[in-house]
Chains A and B, each alone.
Chain A
Amino acid sequence: QLQLQESGSGLVKPSETLSLTCTVSGASIGDSAYYWGWIRQPPGKGLEWIGVIYYRGNTIYNPSLNSRVTISVDTSNNHFSLKLTSVSAADSGVYYCVRRATRPEYFDSWGQGILVTVSS
């Protein structure tokens, strides 16, 4: 059974870098039928797509975050990661890692989410 599990620091200081990892079990990140990605949700607000990565390392990012975000993949350890630099309070919220099916494309699996708070 597919499971996605987020991990990382739940508290980040303003201007520093948010770092999260998503560990995948029950499926291979190297499966060419899927992308892997991140979505976030500020407290009490809606969902925002951050970006996706293919197992070969191809990435697509939300232009609103483009200059600050990096998603990377580690196929040997079956996980992928998110780094967001120069964070501010506006980056606080729950971060979800997701699997994106292709043909057709949609997010078919979600991690439980991890709450990240940006505060000094």
Chain B
Amino acid sequence: AIQMTQSPSSLSASVGDRVTITCRASQGIKNDLGWYQQKPGKAPKVLIYAASRLQSGVPSRFSGSGSGTDFTLTISSLQPEDFATYYCLQDYSYPLTFGGGTNVEI
């Protein structure tokens, strides 16, 4: 199975900060990667798919980049509603595997 290593596991930031989360795959996965946001007690929701495509309805301050083994989720200007846990997921091959998550806190 492809292993997804996400970093950092947690970070502290302030409103307005630029935040970057990275995900590294144990082997090349082309651009088959998604980013999901999960708030406490809620189901995750997709932000980015195919590494850089913004899901409909997601604010443009979220962006994704990368291909092969290294990927990045960037929040250009952190908003109060963005404090949550973020997960990457490789969609390249089964079994699908998630990164360990990044908790973004104040």
| A associates with B | yes
A residues at B contact (CB < 8 Å): 46-49, 60, 62-64, 96, 101, 104-108, 110-113
Whether the pair A47, B87 counts as a contact (CB closer than 8 A) is yes
Residues of B contacting A113 in the complex (Cβ-Cβ under 8 angstroms): 43
Kindly state whether residue B100 has any CB partner on chain A within 8 Å.
yes
Known contacts A106-B91, A107-B89, A110-B44; is-contact A49 B97 (Cβ 8 Å):
yes
Q: Which residues on B sit within 8 Å (CB–CB) of A49?
A: 89, 95-98
A-B interface contact total, Cβ < 8 Å: 54
List residues of chain B with CB under 8 Å of any chain A CB.
Answer: 1, 32, 34, 36, 42-46, 49-50, 53, 55, 87, 89, 91, 94-101
Complexed CA–CA distance, A72 and B95 (Å): 18
Nearest CB of chain A from residue B75's CB, rounded to whole Å:
19
**B39 CB to nearest chain A CB (Å):** 12
Look across to chain A and name the residue whose beta carbon is closest to the beta carbon of B94. A60
